[in-house]
Every structure is written in C-alpha cells, then in structure tokens.
Amino acid sequence: MRLPFAGFDDIETEEIAAVHCSSSKMHRSRATFREFLVAGVGEFIPSFIPMPCYLQNLIRKYVSATISAVIMGLALGWPSPMFRKLTEHSLSDNPIGQVIVESEQSWINSVLAIGGFFGPFAAGFLADRHGRKLTLMLSALVHVAGWVMLLQAASVALMIGARFVLGFGSGCILVTLPMYVGEIASDQYRGMLGSFLQIGQTIGILYVYCIGPYVGYYAFQWICCAVPILFMIFFGYMPETPHYFVSKGLYQQATVSLMYLRDASADEIQPELQAVKQFLQREEQQKNSNAVKKLFTEAVNLKALAISFSLISLQQWTGIDCILSNSELIFDKAQISLSADVSTIIMGTIQVACCCVTLMFVDRVGRKPVLMSSALGLTVALTLLGFYFLMQNMDVEQQYISWIPLTGMVGFIAAFNFGFGPVPWAIAAEIFAHDVKAIGNTINVSVSWILDFLALRFFLLISESFGYQWAFWIFAIICALAFLFTMFFVLETKGLSLQEIQKRLGRKPEQDESNGTQGSL
C-alpha cells in the first residue's frame, strides 16, 4: 500500500535526507494537511502536564490510531443504555416492536465475543500481507457495516447478526492496534503508548454512557457510526509501520515513516534504519520458517506465549465485562439512591481517569508493580461487593451498608483500569519475537474473546443460581491468583528494547540473530 507521502516515494535515502534538512526550518510554519489533521486531533493534551515536546508530538500522532480503540468501546458499552430501551413496555423507542426477554439480552450481549473470536484470524492474515494500517482501516469499515445493520434491525436475529459483525471488527482491531503501536513506538515510551488501547476503549464506553440514555435509538446508532468514519479520515494520514515496509523490502518508505514518527532527520534515524536493514536480511534467511511451529517448539517463544496468554486470560476473568454490561442491573439490585444512568456515567469517568493516570506510572514504576497493585485492589473491591450482597440477603439495615455498592464498583473500575486493563496488552505487544508476533497475538486475542463469552455466561448462571455474592467472590479469588502469577512469573519489561526482552526470556545470541529482534523493531 502506498503512503500519502507523495514527494518521497521515488528518491533515494540521501535525497530524502537533503530534502528533510532543507525543509526542517519550514516544517512548523508550513504544515501540510496531513499534519494539520493529526496534530489537531491531539490538541486535547493539557499544557500544564509536564511532558517533553517530543513526547507531545508522539502522542498527537498516535491519537488518531487510538480512535480505533474508541470504536471498540462503543460496541462494548452499547448494551448498557440500549437494553433499557429494548425492555421498556411502552415500545416507544424499540425498533423490534417487542420487549426482548432475558435470554435474548444474553445472546445480543455475548455474541459480540463470538464475532471477536473470528476477527483476529482475518486480521493476522491481512496485517502480514497487506500491512497493519490497511487492516485497521478495513476493521473500521466493518464497524460501519455493523452500525448500519443495527439501524436496519427489525428483529432480534438481525440485531444479533449486527452485534456479531461489530465483534468481528473489534477482534480485528484488538490484534492489529497493539501490533501497530508496538512497532512504531520507541523503547522509552512503548509501555505508555501501548496503554492507549485501554484508554480508547474506556473513552468509547463513556461516550455510550453519556449519550445513549438521552437520545433515541436511531439517533444513537448514527452517532456511533460517525466515529469509525472519522477514524478512517484521520488515520488515513498516518504512516505504515517501518516493520512492514522492511518486511517487503521498501527501504525508502521505511525511512520516511521513521522520519515522520520520530520527528527527526534522516541522519538522526540512521541507527534505527540500519537495524531495519539488518532485520530485512535476517527475515530473508527465515522467510521459509513456520511461525506456528516456532511458536510452540522454541522455549523462548513458549515462555512469551505463556506469560501474555495467562495475563490476558486473567484479565478477562476479573469480571470486568460482566460488571460493565450489567452495571445498571447491579445498581438496581443494590438499591442505591443514585439513578443507574448517573452511576454508570460516574463509572465511565473513573475508567478514563484511571487509564490516563496509568500512563504516568507504567514506564516509570514498571509493569509488575502496576499489575500487582491492580490485582490487589480488584481482590479487595470484589470481596467487598460480595459481602454487601450477603449482608443484603441477611436483611442488614440499608443505612449501614448503602455506601458499599458505588464505592466497591468505582474501586473495582479504578483498580482494573489502573493496571490489569491496559498493561497486559502492552506486554503482549512487546514480548514476542517479530517472526511469531502476529500468530502469538492472534492466539491471545481469539482466546480472550472465548474467555469473555464464558465469563459473561458464568456470571449470569452463578448470580441467578447462588446470588451475586458468589459471583463476585469467585472473581476475587481469580484476582488474588493474578497477583501471585504477576509476582512470580511476569517479566519486567520497563525500559527494555525488544532485543533485550528476548534475552531476558532466555534467547541465546545466535537465536536472537535468527529471529530478528532488534531495537524497537
């Protein structure tokens, strides 16, 4: 795929350097349309936050990619406000024309995960052959199709089909976005920028919570459909990753991509460019290797898979999606004074705030301390919520325990989005060697959707059969296990290059050379 850098496509590296040097003084006074769009999206960064100029520019460039995660958040948060409209007996804002029952709600909610299971397989194929950028663009197009289907949904079956399509698109994004960000980010800020996936999701969920309850069904679908369309406009001006260009032997495009991403001259990116060329040579030597076989036969790759797979599995079984998709039901059951709409907006706001706070810690404190603190907080919050519903069943006076539900739910959301929300995906994006990264992340994402589907079903079964307290306590036990797993098995990747991570995993120098894990590439 051709990048929209028309002036650089057919000139040599030396000419690129000359052009860049001669125009560097004019770069900021004569912004191109591409730079205007991308920088404009990132102007939300408050001026009072102490941040290097280079990092501010980096974030502005990555914000457009993060909109794809917002698209995912829309699909994830959609059931919360829409189920209320679909279950109102007045049928005043119900496109189906009948009240949906609990079993139909369950399928409409959980079929998103089934679609998400299949998406990564298509995304992995497209990302390797046609690029990460094109794959993300096509994923957004799938989401547009899903929202259009919801606009036309006149039956439960059509609505389930639309949710399946949205899940398929979300699965594509979930495997491609971490790959894209992990390959264009520098070593110093890779962990922070990798956390943007979770931030985007939480912004999308908050978007749904704030708008969904207050507009009509059809208006809401149009409002959601506008987001992937905007993403395709903004992201069209972002470059493909240097990784992909190098894998196709496109040195000039890789050079231009690095110059744009690092905001540097050709001379300044020469060390990284040389690493790209060395990587290309190693890829040529390994082009006939079987990535699936290498993933499951080499001890280093198996260790990377075990760590990332376990973290993402534990993430799904913290109960996060069960709580987000059933938040209004839980608040109604808890009989708190605030309305369910206001309570969910508070939760959504806390999600976004905590994800942003994580950005300031993940690359300073490290991945392990953040994950361990998050797991501990989740365990406490879930245990507290379980005891609330136990005491409610024991007819304890409401005035003594009324503070627990909102406190526990907000504490749970804060703890999750502080660590176990964004960090597992950031680790998954950086822990694999390049030649097995696509298949490794495809496995992780696909299994995460299966586990999400099972968790949603499990929560409904346990809460109806034994009460909410047992559902929360089982999730609390899993979070305690997540704390222990992180303490003893998770590799700290703070400040390490991808090559250094492979060495920490146990890769020998000769293995490292054969697998192409160099620098930030």
Q: In this structure, is residue 9 part of a structural domain? A: no
Let me know: does 116 contact 72? Beta carbons within 8 Å: no
Please report, for the chain, how many H helices and E strands are present, in that order. Answer: 26, 0
Q: In this structure, is residue 447 part of a structural domain? A: yes
Interatomic CA distance for residues 239 and 403, integer angstroms: 49
pLDDT (average), residues 2-15: 34
Q: In this structure, is residue 38 part of a structural domain? A: no
Domain end residue (candidates: 200, 217, 238): 238
Let me know: does 307 contact 491? Beta carbons within 8 Å: yes
Q: In this structure, is residue 2 part of a structural domain? A: no
Q: Token digits for 119?
A: 């998406």
Same domain, 80 and 192: yes
**Between 400 and 93, whose confidence is greater?**
93
Q: In this structure, is residue 42 part of a structural domain? A: no
Interatomic CA distance for residues 440 and 124, integer angstroms: 10
Same domain, 69 and 174: yes
Top-confidence range, 136-145, 409-418, 426-435: 136-145
**Between 430 and 86, whose confidence is greater?**
86
pLDDT digits (tens, 9 = 90+) for 92-127: 888 988 888 878 888 888 899 999 889 888 887 888
- pLDDT band for position 60 (50/70/90)? low
Q: In this structure, is residue 512 part of a structural domain? A: no
Same domain, 123 and 187: yes
Phi, psi (5° rounding) for residue 373? -65, -40
Sign of CA dihedral 338, 339, 344, 349: negative
Interatomic CA distance for residues 171 and 176, integer angstroms: 9
Least confident interval from 47-51, 267-271, 444-448? 47-51
Same domain, 387 and 441: yes
Same domain, 325 and 433: yes
- What lies within 8 Å, CB to CB, of 296 at 6+ separation is 302, 305
Let me know: does 273 contact 480? Beta carbons within 8 Å: no
Same domain, 209 and 320: no
Let me know: does 104 contact 157? Beta carbons within 8 Å: no
Domain end residue (candidates: 238, 254, 277): 238
pLDDT (average), residues 469-498: 89
Interatomic CA distance for residues 186 and 168, integer angstroms: 30
Same domain, 258 and 335: no
Q: In this structure, is residue 434 part of a structural domain? A: yes
Least confident interval from 69-73, 120-124, 326-330, 374-378? 326-330
**Between 410 and 518, whose confidence is greater?**
410
CA 9-13-17 angle, 5° bins: 100
Residue 313's identity, in one-letter code, is S
Same domain, 182 and 256: no
Same domain, 177 and 250: no
Same domain, 311 and 215: no
pLDDT digits (tens, 9 = 90+) for 322-357: 888 777 667 767 666 777 788 888 888 988 888 777
For the chain, what is the domain count?
3
pLDDT of residue 16: 39
Q: In this structure, is residue 22 part of a structural domain? A: no
Interatomic CA distance for residues 300 and 336, integer angstroms: 50
pLDDT of residue 37: 37
Interatomic CA distance for residues 398 and 395, integer angstroms: 8
pLDDT of residue 39: 33
pLDDT of residue 373: 93
**Between 131 and 288, whose confidence is greater?**
131
pLDDT of residue 432: 85
- pLDDT band for position 5 (50/70/90)? very low
**Between 322 and 434, whose confidence is greater?**
322
Question: pLDDT at residue 458 above 50?
Answer: yes
| Tokens 């589907």 sit on residue | 453
- pLDDT band for position 149 (50/70/90)? very high
- pLDDT band for position 22 (50/70/90)? very low
Let me know: does 214 contact 371? Beta carbons within 8 Å: no
- pLDDT band for position 47 (50/70/90)? very low
Interatomic CA distance for residues 364 and 359, integer angstroms: 9
pLDDT (average), residues 248-258: 77
pLDDT of residue 229: 94
Same domain, 228 and 348: no
Question: pLDDT at residue 28 above 60?
Answer: no
Let me know: does 319 contact 472? Beta carbons within 8 Å: yes
Domain end residue (candidates: 208, 238, 268): 238
pLDDT of residue 246: 76
Per-chain mean pLDDT for the chain: 78
pLDDT of residue 495: 73
pLDDT of residue 44: 39
Question: pLDDT at residue 132 above 50?
Answer: yes
pLDDT of residue 279: 59
Same domain, 118 and 89: yes
Interatomic CA distance for residues 220 and 12, integer angstroms: 49
Provide the residue range defining the domain that includes 381: 289-507
What's the CATH number where 358 sits?
1.20.1250.20
Cα distances from 286 to residues 27, 249, 268, 290, 521, in angstroms, run 40, 14, 29, 9, 16
Percent of the chain with pLDDT over 90: 24
